[in-house]
A and B are shown apart, each in its own frame.
Chain A
Amino acid sequence: AQTVTQSQPEMSVQEAETVTLSCTYDTSESDYYLFWYKQPPSRQMILVIRQEAYKQQNATENRFSVNFQKAAKSFSLKISDSQLGDAAMYFCAYTSGTYKYIFGTGTRLKVLA
């Protein structure tokens, strides 16, 4: 069965610094899709970034980038120049394209002024 593991329940970062959130997953599929979602205190889940496993190039969205290591089944999220508005729960998610999305347990990110 596919699983997604986020081993850091909570992380802190100083404003303007860089932080990396970890995610590992387990699957026997060769083709799949990975996501990072952000859930601020408002509860609204928002997509941060999406990665297709068949693409070797790491996805990037402005200050957000991923380090996708397919062989290691690792999908970490790097947030550069952290801002107060980045404070939220971050969820890693996986799907093999079967409409079933599996989410990790989340990492709470605190941004210190």
Chain B
Amino acid sequence: DTAVSQTPKYLVTQMGNDKSIKCEQNLGHDTMYWYKQDSKKFLKIMFSYNNKELIINETVPNRFSPKSPDKAHLNLHINSLELGDSAVYFCASSQGVQGHNEQFFGPGTRLTVL
């Protein structure tokens, strides 16, 4: 039974399009995250949500809009896709409200913008 799942696993699209990535966790965690991993494997946090509330927004362009309909889901919508958005996007979750626990990662979504 998958703990943190993401759909789709691969996404190929044209510049200027709008796309969404979905994330779900069945661990009962309070906090969810989005990370971007670039071609050099550098992993950078984009957003953190705790109990559906945005708590971290790491100067991400406003073309990226996360949405958390409930504690178990955190979706990422990207408008007007650019070439530089090509990367692997990871969703993660963690337990508790202290913000320092182990993170459980999804399998990643490889986004390719042509």
Contact = CB atoms under 8 A, between A and B. Distances in A.
Interface of A: 32-33, 35, 37, 39, 42-47, 50, 89, 91, 95-103, 105-106
B56 A99 contact: yes
B45 A100 contact: yes
Given A43-B88, A50-B102, A100 B41 contact: no
A12 to B, nearest CB: 17
B62 interface: no
B99 A99 contact: yes
Contact of B56 (A45, A91, A100, A103): A100
Contact of A45 (B42, B50, B58, B105): B105
A103 B99 contact: no
Rank and list the top 7 A-B pairs by shortest CB-CB distance, nearest first.
Answer: A99-B99, A45-B105, A97-B100, A99-B48, A103-B43, A33-B100, A43-B108
A47 B92 CA distance: 12
B31 interface: yes
Given A89-B41, A97-B100, 8 more contacts: A37-B105, A39-B41, A45-B90, A47-B103, A97-B98, A98-B99, A99-B31, A106-B43
A77 to B, nearest CB: 16
Nearest to A98: B99
The bracket for how many chain B residues form the interface is 20 to 34
23 contacts: A39-B41, A43-B88, A43-B107, A44-B105, A45-B92, A46-B105, A47-B103, A50-B102, A89-B41, A91-B43, A95-B99, A95-B100, A98-B56, A98-B99, A99-B55, A100-B45, A100-B58, A100-B99, A102-B45, A105-B40, A105-B42, A106-B42, A106-B43
Contacts of B42: 103, 105-106
Interface in B35-74: 40-45, 48, 50, 55-56, 58
Interface centre among A101, A102, A106 (most CB of B within 10 A): A101
Nearest to A35: B102
A45 to B, nearest CB: 4
